[in-house]
């Protein structure tokens, strides 16, 4: 994937948002976060900063997946995942049309982050330990809420259609990548949400 082009597209979207404020208006109109989520500093400005950081993290995250694949000899196995993430941005699904550029990129970033989350889940299923030190769960939950429950569920359904093809050969229990090689790639990613300056907790039911 040409992550340099993706970075350029993201910066273009951020400039347009500064001019038009369409995403800020969307965030202002939200009825509120789900009761199961608590987010300190949950102002429109803080949430907009989260969106910008969440989207900006995608190119580096995909570069890290590619580097991990290179170090562990799994380029061919992980190529479908990287290709799918690329296609979300290069050829966005039709259901994303009609949004501001940054809102569209949030949808695409959500799909890319969820792909990597599913990759980690597949690794845990094979080897009973996580591949990533990166914790995307809470960040993805917040992105799901900001996108909107109904539309985010449509994105999840789209992801369910893509996953079997892109993860079919990602890992097999017969050959485990070298732990030290993997850890050296993911050490920079402790918790995505905290890196983006927010502290969201799963509230008690």
Alpha-carbon gap, residue 82 to 23, rounded angstroms: 27
Distance CA 78, CA 154 (A): 25
pLDDT of residue 153: 94
With a pLDDT cut of 90, the percent of the chain lying above it is 17
Q: What is the pLDDT of residues 70-103, one digit of tens each?
A: 877 778 888 888 888 888 888 888 888 778 889 8
pLDDT digits (tens, 9 = 90+) for 126-143: 777 666 666 777 788 889
Chain-wide mean pLDDT for the chain? 78
Contacts (Cβ under 8 Å, ≥6 apart) of 59: 3, 4, 6, 7, 10
Q: Which residues pair with 135 in a beta bridge?
A: 191
Proportion of the chain in helix, strand, coil states, percent, rounded to 5: 70, 5, 25
Structure tokens at 152: 């985010």
Domain residues of the chain, as ranges?
A: 3-202
106 or 178, greater pLDDT: 106
Report yes or no on whether pTM surpasses 0.95. Answer: no
In angstroms, rounded to a whole number, what is the distance separating the alpha carbons of residues 160 and 200? 26
- List pLDDT tens digits, range 36-82: 666 655 578 878 888 988 998 888 888 888 887 787 777 888 888 88
Q: Which residue has the higher pLDDT, 122 or 129?
A: 122
């Amino acid at each position: 994937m040409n992550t340099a082009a993706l970075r350029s597209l993201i910066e273009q979207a951020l400039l347009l948002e500064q001019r038009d404020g369409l995403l800020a208006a969307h965030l202002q109109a939200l009825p509120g976060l789900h009761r199961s989520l608590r987010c300190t500093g949950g102002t429109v400005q803080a949430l907009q900063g989260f969106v910008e950081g969440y989207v900006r993290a995608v190119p580096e995250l995909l570069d890290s997946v590619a580097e991990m694949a290179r170090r562990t000899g799994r380029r061919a196995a992980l190529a479908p995942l990287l290709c799918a993430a690329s296609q979300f941005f290069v050829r966005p699904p039709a259901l994303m049309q009609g949004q501001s550029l940054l809102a569209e990129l949030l949808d695409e970033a959500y799909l890319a982050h969820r792909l990597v989350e599913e990759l980690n889940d597949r690794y845990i299923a094979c080897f009973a330990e996580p591949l990533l030190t990166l914790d995307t769960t809470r960040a993805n939950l917040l992105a799901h809420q900001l996108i909107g429950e109904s539309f985010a569920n449509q994105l999840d359904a789209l992801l369910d259609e893509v996953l079997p093809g892109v993860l079919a050969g990602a890992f097999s229990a017969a050959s485990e990548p070298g732990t030290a090689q993997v850890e050296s790639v993911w050490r920079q990613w402790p918790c995505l949400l905290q890196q983006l300056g927010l502290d969201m907790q799963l509230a008690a039911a």
